Homo-oligomer: A and B are copies of this chain.
């Protein structure tokens, strides 16, 4: 796995990972990985990230059960951004939406919610 070490991680050792639905090509979320969480992602076939706010590793879905099964991993020309195609269980967004990108800029310059929730976040993240 020589090539994983040669990516352009930033000053904090992180690289952004765009997560895309392998079937529909919908962009589901973006989060940050370091070399260790990328290795865990490759080895387990489930996405793992580094949380900048909580300063810890997390497996997507570890609380909610909404895991992401890895299908394909791409790197960009500059080797500083990952694109990972996944099979998403449930929803990717902690607010209950399929995708974190559920707000679109409308002609009035406002962010308008354009999606329906696919799960109830209060139930998904309760007492786990």
Q: Do the beta carbons of B1 and A109 come within 8 Å of each other?
A: yes
Among B74, B100, B104, B105, the residue within 8 A (CB) of A101 is B74
Which residues of the other chain, B, contact A81 by a CB distance below 8 angstroms? 30, 100-101
Q: How many residues on the A side are at the interface (Cβ–Cβ under 8 A)?
A: 36
Give the contacts of A80-128 with B (CB-CB under 8 A).
Answer: 81, 83, 93-95, 97, 100-105, 109-111
Q: Do the beta carbons of B29 and A111 come within 8 Å of each other?
A: no
Does more than half of chain A's interface fall in helix, strand or loop, or is it mixed? mixed
The verdict on A55 contacting chain B, using a C-beta distance below 8 Å, is no
Which residues of the other chain, B, contact A105 by a CB distance below 8 angstroms? 3, 42, 72-75
A66-79 interface bits toward B, Cβ cutoff 8 Å, 1 = contact, 0 = none: 00000011111110
